[in-house]
């Protein structure tokens, strides 16, 4: 296993006036990271460390409750990725998750038996993540040389964002896969994991662990960004390994795009530079439905799992 060190970026330089040289260097690091690794780690991001620690601790307390107590927080809908508590079982995965959707304070999204302490902490965390997502989106916009506020206007609705907390059970004698190899189908993903770690990224054919550091947020590019930039920014395959003898916990925020948005390579990375598009266009809701089917009706073979390559244009047809 490789021991590659993933780039780390201090986001505080983007929260002050001036600091132009520091911002330039940070953007260079981010551009390189998103082009080569699809991942980087963010520090000094304005999400209070106390809130991150409290949310993680409350997550562990919630998942340690008896199953009958947690089931009181089951979602109203039977659809995958509905707000509330549930178990993930596709692909042989054995984990618990609690999902919060925006707007977190909406009455339609509040369950009668929501965990009384965990819910408010996650709502507060959700709002901080939303602001961080907007900041990173703006940084990506500059790194990619797009017109001012281009990505902000394109992705201007936060109603599809999701925050999840997850508990991965200890590895069994024959299985240590918490989540199998996959890419994220959204815009940008933010995650922090407990001290157990377990997140790994595939780079040059080798799995490289992302070492867990207190107060650090892992940022990774989603499939939507990869398609928009015609592969300039990458969405890297990653996985989660389950630990031996203990559970692993994480909190993830999916900064997403509305289902009625169309995604296709932008002319900035095709026509304007003389490059053929590497993907055909698609609606977000259609791709989301295909990915959900991966979970509800998992194929027997890994190669049959649908990912963003489903929309890739074969090289021989790129004219």
Give CA separation, 76 vs 80, 106, 311, in Å: 11, 14, 33
**Strand stretches in the chain, DSSP E:** 8-10, 39-43, 84-88, 95-101, 162-168, 177-182, 188-193, 199-203, 206-209, 217-221, 238-241, 248-255, 262-263, 282-283
pLDDT score for 3: 44
pLDDT score for 12: 95
> Whole-angstrom Cα distance, residue 267 to residue 255?
23
Give the model's confidence band at 132: pLDDT under 50 very low, under 70 low, under 90 confident, else very high: very high
Over 80: is that where the pLDDT of 81 sits? no
Over 50: is that where the pLDDT of 199 sits? yes
pLDDT score for 114: 80
pLDDT score for 314: 87
pLDDT score for 312: 97
Bridge partners for 202 per DSSP: 207
pLDDT digits (tens, 9 = 90+) for 201-233: 998 899 999 987 889 999 999 999 999 999 999
110-125: average pLDDT: 85
Over 50: is that where the pLDDT of 44 sits? yes
Domains in the chain with CATH codes = 8-260 (2.60.120.330)
Angle at 89 between CA 252 and CA 263, to 5 degrees: 50
Tokens of 31: 């551009």
pLDDT digits (tens, 9 = 90+) for 289-303: 999 888 888 888 877
Tokens of 186: 């959204």
Over 90: is that where the pLDDT of 1 sits? no
Over 60: is that where the pLDDT of 91 sits? no
Q: Which of 67-71, 75-79, 96-100, 146-150 has the highest mean pLDDT?
A: 146-150
Tally of CB atoms within 10 A around 21: 9
The more confidently predicted of residues 300 and 60 is 60
């Amino acid at each position: 296993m490789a021991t590659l060190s993933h780039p780390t970026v201090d986001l505080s330089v983007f929260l002050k006036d001036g600091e132009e040289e520091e911002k330039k260097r940070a953007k260079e690091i981010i551009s390189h990271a998103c082009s080569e690794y699809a991942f980087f780690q963010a520090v000094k991001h304005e999400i209070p460390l106390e809130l991150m620690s409290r949310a993680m601790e409350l997550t562990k307390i919630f998942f340690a409750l008896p199953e009958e107590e947690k089931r009181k927080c089951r979602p109203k809908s039977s659809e995958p990725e509905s707000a509330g508590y549930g178990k993930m079982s596709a692909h042989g995965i054995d984990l618990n998750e609690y999902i919060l959707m925006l707007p977190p304070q909406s009455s339609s999204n509040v369950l009668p038996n929501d965990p009384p302490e965990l819910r408010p902490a996650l709502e507060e965390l959700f709002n901080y993540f939303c602001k961080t997502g907007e900041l990173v989106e703006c940084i990506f916009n500059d790194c990619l040389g797009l017109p001012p506020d281009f990505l902000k206007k394109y992705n201007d609705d936060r109603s599809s964002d999701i925050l999840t907390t997850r508990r991965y059970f200890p590895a069994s004698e024959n299985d240590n896969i918490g989540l199998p190899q996959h890419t994220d189908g959204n815009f940008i993903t933010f995650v922090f994991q407990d001290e157990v770690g377990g997140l790994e990224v595939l780079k040059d054919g080798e799995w490289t662990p992302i070492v867990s550091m207190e107060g650090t947020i892992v940022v990774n590019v989603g499939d939507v960004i990869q398609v928009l930039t015609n592969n300039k920014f990458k969405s890297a395959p990653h996985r989660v390994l389950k630990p031996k003898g203990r559970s692993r916990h994480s909190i993830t925020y999916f900064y997403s795009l509305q289902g009625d948005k169309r995604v296709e390579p932008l002319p900035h990375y095709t026509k304007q530079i003389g490059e053929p598009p590497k993907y055909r266009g698609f609606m977000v809701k259609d791709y989301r439905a295909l990915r959900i089917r991966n979970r509800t009706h998992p194929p027997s073979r890994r190669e049959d799992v649908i990912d963003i390559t489903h929309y890739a244009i074969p090289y021989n047809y790129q004219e």
